[in-house]
Amino acid sequence: MREYLLTLCITAAVTYLLTGPVRKFAIVAGAMPEIRARDVHREPTPRLGGIAMFFGLCAGLLVADHLANLNEVFAKSNEPRALLSGAALIWLIGVLDDKFEIDALIKLGGQMIAAGVMVMQGLTILWLPVPGVGNVALTQWQGTLLTVALVVITINAVNFVDGLDGLAAGMVCIAAAAFFLYAYRVWVSYGIEAAAPATLFAAILMGMCLGFLPHNMHPARIFMGDSGSMLIGLVLAAGAISITGQVDPDALNLYAGSEKAAVHQTVPVYIPLLLPLTIIAVPTADLVLAIVRRTWRGQSPFAADRGHLHHRLLEIGHSHSRAVLIMYFWSALIAFGALAYSVNSASMWIVLGIVFLSAIGLVLLLLPRFRPRVPVWAQRFVPPRYRRRRQAPETVAAEAAEPDATDATEAAETEERAPVTAGVSGVNGATAIGARSRFVDRR
């Protein structure tokens, strides 16, 4: 565990320290697109944040390769090299898109090529654990197609949800944390070394997101762009492929009693990781809804719009930060709920806890303008928007003098009305003064 934590910290530190220089480089390079109709931010913000995240990935893999225990992952498996090759390719495509706005079909082709590169180096799905059947081996073509489909779905799910400051990085970090706990449990509790690469990928992914989040929280100073969103989507997919299609349920027979029991024991996380439907359930749901919505309108599935889940949260009255926190909440509830259910699926308290938290989430959705106030002693620990505002004596006096201020305003408007009228009629200053004097006398 200590080596994983060290790798996570090194990855986060490198990503955090490089994001500042990358921001300056993005400004100089002109990677600051104009505000589009679907954008939420109001000022042009530099992109290319994926550059810092990619170098954080490289630093994490380099550090892990020189650690005593994690070095065995590189010695016994080619998956880290496969991940680095696919990540480098998808990162280059993302950098070009952040700068030159390449076509969506070209990006889709690049995603498929990156997935194919990883398959060629051994990072592929070999079998599937099916409930009631057991372990189902896949042919080479079946494994390749399923792997490519999983990579493309995950990349685009993360890319589609990247619409608010800190949203994509935070949701992927939550998913990576749940995924890390599951993979680490499979490796340590069951002694299955095939889960070690997936555990390493999850730790590095957490470091990439945590290092970038301080620069990307609202108001964001830099965006990760497609170079970052597609990169973290690929890393998440690589971990899911590694543990879902590489770990043989036969190895769990000693702990579960039989192959079918082992599959049933791990199915709450195995199958969702494959699709994936729980670890990135919210981005996947957003992806499916976007495709259906755009196809129904006769548009391309890759055409951008303002119909995503986070846009709808803003439309019903939630603030930017509140919308992001709500998306965090649902992602954590689904991911960690599936993780807890996989550990002890027979516990009724887990199901009741998930139902209770779901009810809380629905209440938060229905109260977009509710702003909690904390006690006075705790105000120093919360953001300013949650603190009680104290009115100064000058403010109270100004509010008491509002009627006088209103009369003064009306008088000023009356004085401004005469010069304007004189200017319109074309008379000189003396005529205007005389007209004003007669107007006063007449009153």
Show binding-site residues for Mg(2+).
159, 226
Distance CA(321)–CA(282), nearest Å, equals 17
Q: What residue ranges in 213-264 does DSSP mark as E strands?
A: none
User: For residue 212, how many other CB atoms are within 10 A of its CB?
Assistant: 31
Q: For the residues of 237-250, what is the DSSP string, one character each?
A: HHHHHHHHHHS-GG
Cβ–Cβ < 8 Å for 212, 152: no
Which one, of 62, 65, 51, lies nearest residue 15 by Cα? 51
DSSP secondary structure string for all residues of 125-155:
--EEEETTTEEEE--HHHHHHHHHHHHHHHH
Residue owning tokens 């699926």: 345
- Burial of 34 per CB tally in 10 Å (0-12, 13-18, 19+): exposed
Nearest Cα neighbor of 280 from 180, 157, 170 is 157
Give binding residues as ranges.
Answer: 159, 226
Q: How far apart are CA 97 and CA 94, in angstroms?
A: 5
Question: Any long-range contacts for 180-187 (C-beta under 8 Å, 24+ apart)?
Answer: 180/4, 180/206, 181/339, 182/243, 182/269, 182/339, 182/342, 183/239, 183/243, 184/1, 184/4, 185/343, 186/243, 186/247, 186/266
